[in-house]
Amino acid sequence: MTVSVVTIRKGGTREAMIAATQTLKAAVEENGAEDVMLSQVAAGPDAGQWIIRILFDDWEDFGKTMQSASSDPALREAVAGLDAISEVVSRRLLSGVEL
């Protein structure tokens, strides 16, 4: 069962969000995340907002990564970089179901 952290952000130019999310990706993957994806909402009331999804293989990997990441200065810098250019709208923790 996969675990995903999904953060929705508003603000930030395309170039700035890509660069900041690439920095975040390197930091969280170094700490054990499986993948990071950046998407932009294309239509609807939230058009233009950014979605960052961090994927983990399971709850154990999620826990290990959170433990490791909590003391990682590179990850704190990556999050600060995102905070400087965009605002968090919401965050969800998802548990995937194998079909």
pLDDT, position 87: 97
Instruction: Please write the tens of the pLDDT for every residue from 21-80.
Output: 999 999 999 999 999 999 999 999 999 999 999 999 999 999 999 998 889 999 999 999
CA distance 92 to 8: 9
Could you tell me the domains of the chain?
3-95 (3.30.70.100)
Structure token digits, residue 77:
């810098």
pTM: 0.93
The per-residue DSSP string of the chain comes to: --EEEEEEEE---HHHHHHHHHHHHHHHHHTT-SEEEEEE--SSTTTT-EEEEEEESSHHHHHHHHHHHTT-HHHHHHHHHHHHH-EEEEEEEEE----
